[in-house]
Amino acid sequence: MTKKCFQIAALLLLSFISIQAQDKKAKDLLNEVTAKIKSYDNIVIDFKYSLNNAKENINQDSKGNVTMKGNQYVLNFMGVTKIFDGQKTYTIVPEDEEVTVSKVNEKDDNAITPSKMLTFFNSGYKYNMDIVQNVKGRKIQYIKLAPTSTKDQRKEILLGIDVQTKHIYNLIETGKNGTKTTLTVNSFKTNQPLSKNQFTFVASKYPKYYINKLD
């Protein structure tokens, strides 16, 4: 009996050590991704976004692009352009001929920005290494992230990382309601020549638009 208990305890201990080592591997890889992203002057990404829910019969695909420099960005997605100049966000909706201007509290951890999307995993998650896939000759290592907050509506997130470049290849979110959203990076360019006014909202470009100032 004592021998059996010892064997069970030894197996549990080995499993725990294995999980700890796996967690460290995952953490080390995520740290490499963060360091790589922070080393660039700017990043330009073209992406594909898919939303699926078999139960609700929802299947949507969209494309977009984003240019980032520090915390500034220009995001084009689903016919809407968002410009963040470091202080204010300008949401331009051509369909409504309207521009909404709002202030952003940079200290607000809940404020979602494209730059945070590339480093969101640094807090609030448990993580461990998952499968490795070969995608068109690229080795993609997946890390499974589980939100630590019980209020989070996401069940888990799979983050695909290109092992060679340390760039994020895709992000697959599975919600507790069965909705799966996938963001796939089609093009990842860095240190591009950007214009001086890249992140500046120029009102004269939208003479007929209604400017809605929230703050």
pLDDT in tens, 81-137: 999 998 899 999 999 999 999 987 655 544 556 766 677 777 788 888 999 999 989
Domain count, the chain: 1
Cα-Cα-Cα-Cα dihedral sign, residues 116, 122, 123, 125: positive
Q: Give the model's pLDDT for residue 181.
A: 86
pLDDT band at 151 (very low <50, low <70, confident <90, very high): confident
Q: Give the model's pLDDT for residue 110.
A: 47
Write out the two tokens for 19: 């999980």
Name, of 13-22, 26-35, 192-201, the range with top average pLDDT: 192-201
- Residue 57 domain boundaries: 1-213
Can you tell me the mean pLDDT for 1-23?
Answer: 50
Q: Is the pTM of this model over 0.75?
A: yes
How many Å apart are CA 128 and CA 177, to the nearest integer?
23
Which CATH number fits the domain that encloses residue 93?
2.50.20.10
DSSP letter string over 114-161? HHHHTTGGGSSEEEEEEEEEEETTEEEEEEEEEES-TT-SEEEEEEEE
How many Å apart are CA 67 and CA 70, to the nearest integer?
10
